[in-house]
Amino acid sequence: MSDDGRLSGEIDILVPSALGGERIDKTISLVTGVSRSTAAELLAQGRVVVDGRAVRVRSLRLVAGQRLAVEIPPQAKETPVADSTVRFAVVHEDDHLVVVEKPPGLVVHGGAGNLRGTLVNGLLWRYPELAELPRAGAGEAQRPGIVHRLDKGTSGLLVVARTAEAYRSLSRQFREHTAGREYLALVAGSVDDEVGIVEAPIGRSARARDRMAVTSLGRMARTVYQVTARYGEPFTATLLKVVLTTGRTHQVRVHLAAIGHPVIGDDRYGGSAGRPVVPGEAMSHGRFFLHAHRLELEHPEGGRIAWTSVLPPDLTDVLDRMTLLSDRLTPR
């Protein structure tokens, strides 16, 4: 067993009845302690055998009584290190948690072989006690204190746990979708309805494994939006307030693209529709117009608390260069 509690070497078991019908990647995660993404990598590498035959399809559902063998290569003990050069703003801090404002272009945490230059590295410099959380059973060594994420190209509010108790409390709130998250998104085109709901399952894309998609094999997701402002020149766009009632990977971007209004600057899900001739230089180098504007949660010590973050200068610059068609106030 590795230092972080994961099995290493090889396991060889008969699938118990309790796991009959479960996906193979989930089963591997449960019986070995590795993440679902690591389980997918083991499958892709041909390290998983079911009843004597190698399996590479992560969505395969197992049958009770099948023999499952998984080879888990030894992994070097690699953890992120503190880095004083990583810049981010602190909105709130107390003994239990810290709320930061993540700038665009900054990755929240790295993976194996890529553990430098991330928000986690900067957090460890300012809050070295975070390194002790995984030893207390609160999260993984590569992402101490992290209970949710923002994409690299997204800016805005993110909460980090400073104690094991806070980690469990915050993780539960995000898992049960009781933490409130609100985004501001500028999307391509004119959104017809003033208020709308997108309710569709999101899962890994069958065409591109590095992307998410609306798919019947995914997990149900629900996104609520409200029109905040409309713009007409130099291109037609709509500013939305977006509220998540679930928390799937790339949920805002996938759902808005699915209804024909991709986030401005989002090449991955919007293609050319997501990248019109954007005024200024804001929508370059992987940046898109998505900002985590408001965060609300139950403090681990009790009481509901909320924070808001205005649009950063690079995004307000885009709006300032466009023609406002609505008489509403634009959130800044």
How far is residue 60's CA from residue 313's CA, in Å, rounded to a whole number? 47
Contact call for residues 90 and 99 (beta carbons, < 8 A): yes
Structure tokens at 95: 């003994």
Active site residue 4: no
How far is residue 332's CA from residue 14's CA, in Å, rounded to a whole number? 57
Q: Which residue has the tokens 């805005």?
A: 156
CA 232 to chain centre: 31
Catalytic annotation, pick one of 25, 51, 94, 151: 151
CA 126 to chain centre: 23
DSSP conformational letter for 219: B
- Paired with 12 in beta bridges are 69
Contact call for residues 15 and 50 (beta carbons, < 8 A): no
Structure tokens at 296: 């609300």
Closest among 4, 48, 57 to 28, alpha carbons compared: 48
Closest among 57, 54, 143 to 107, alpha carbons compared: 143
3-state secondary structure of 242: strand
Strands 155-161 and 67-72, by their bridges, are: unpaired
Contact call for residues 187 and 260 (beta carbons, < 8 A): no
Q: Which residues are catalytic?
A: 151
